[in-house]
Structures are given as C-alpha cells and as structure tokens.
Structure 1
Amino acid sequence: MKKFDLHNDPKIETGFKIPEHYFENLEDRIMNQLPEQDVKVISLWQRKSVWISGMAAVLVVSFGTWFYFNQQSTELSVSSQEYLAYSNDITTEEIAYHLTDEDITTIEKELGLYDTESETYVNEYLN
C-alpha cells in the first residue's frame, strides 16, 4: 500500500465550485421561498391558569399527605402511650369494669362475635 504524505503530495481538486457571491444573499433567497405563516398568539392568562392549577394540585396533594400521616401518627402514639401506662398495672377485670355498654356493643360489632352463623352454631351445640 502506498503511503500518503499530506504535506508534500499535490492536493486533489474535488470538482465542486461555489458560485461567486453565493453566501452573501443566501438568507434572503431562502426567506423569500418560505411561505408566510400566521404567528400564534398565546395570552398570558392561559399560561397563568396552567400555573395556578398546577400549584393548586400540589397544595392539595401535600396537605392530603400531611393530614394522612399526621392522623396515623397521632392514633399510634395515643394507643402506644395507653398501652405503656396500663400494661403492667391493670387486669382484664378492671378493663371490663371501666367499659360502658356502648363500648361493649362497639367491640362486639368490630369483632363480629354475634353473627347469625355463630348464633346458630352455639344454639345447635347447646341443644
């Protein structure tokens, strides 16, 4: 393979030539060929409404998450404090003594102790 010496070898002509003064008025010729377009006007109020609605959405989400986590933490802290305060000193008889009838019915509803299936099972077992 023949070695190339770029500094000493004669240059090869490409065969392409640029007409004289081609770049001087190129921009004017291109702009004349483009069709006229109407400029789209966007009012500032439309942009403001997008920003306002975006900020409102962020505020709603942030307050919602803050309220959700704050509510969970207060419920957990109250129950843990009550548990620590009474875990060693109180017995089940003392708990039953302090419960009202409304508390007992609420507990029964939450636990589902008196379902119709449970009542029929107990009645059949006792008979």
Structure 2
Amino acid sequence: MNNYAIIDVGGKQLLVEPGRFYDTYRFASIGCKVSSFERKVSVYRVSLICFGSELIVGRPWLNNAMVKIRILHNCFDKKNLIGEIQHKKTGRGRKSGHRQEFVRFVVESICLNGKNLMRV
C-alpha cells in the first residue's frame, strides 16, 4: 500500500487507492440520479497523498490535487432496525427500520499539479 490518497466524500474521509472500489453515502454535490451511473467525477477535497516514499499533506486540503472517480451504481446496506413496538393486548409487535443507500465508485487516478501520479 505505497500509493494512496485520503479524500473527503459523503461526510467521511476515505483512504483510496487506484483501481479499487468503495462505498459511500450519496454525493451531495451531484445528487446521484439513475442517469448518473458510469459518470466520471473529480474530487478536489484531497487531504493527503502518499506516492512511494513521498508524503504530501494539505492543511486542510491540497491545492491542485484531485482524485478522478467513476460512479458504478447504487447499493444498499443491511437493514438497520429502529425498534420493536409491542402491543399490549396481543403481545405481537412490529419492527421498523430502513436500509441506508450507498453509492459505489471506483478510483481511476490520483492527480497532483496536472500530472497523473497513479493510474489504473
């Protein structure tokens, strides 16, 4: 794991490597609709880039750095149960919950100052 970057997407920071895919919450800036699958997006909120033995840290973000990603599809997490409501008379209950919606994307390249440092 010599070549990686730390980016901020979906409200959390991810350590990403080129060629791997990741799941995150919906992108607020693009508002992923059904038509946006296989869409290429550039993420400019890059906190850190590690390339070989070189480590470049931003405060809070790196200038002229971006990570190019491609959105694959939507996916769902396992169902989160909110709670179980018990009825007084029958003793039966009902579970309620939701499935968190994720966006799966793959990292294509990591760029710094217009040059591709790492590419798939």
Q: Larger relative contact order (C-alpha < 8 A, sep ≥ 6)?
A: 2
Which structure: greater helix fraction?
A: 1
Flag the structure with larger Rg. 1
TM-score using structure 2 length: 0.15
Which structure: greater strand fraction?
A: 2
TM-score using structure 1 length: 0.15
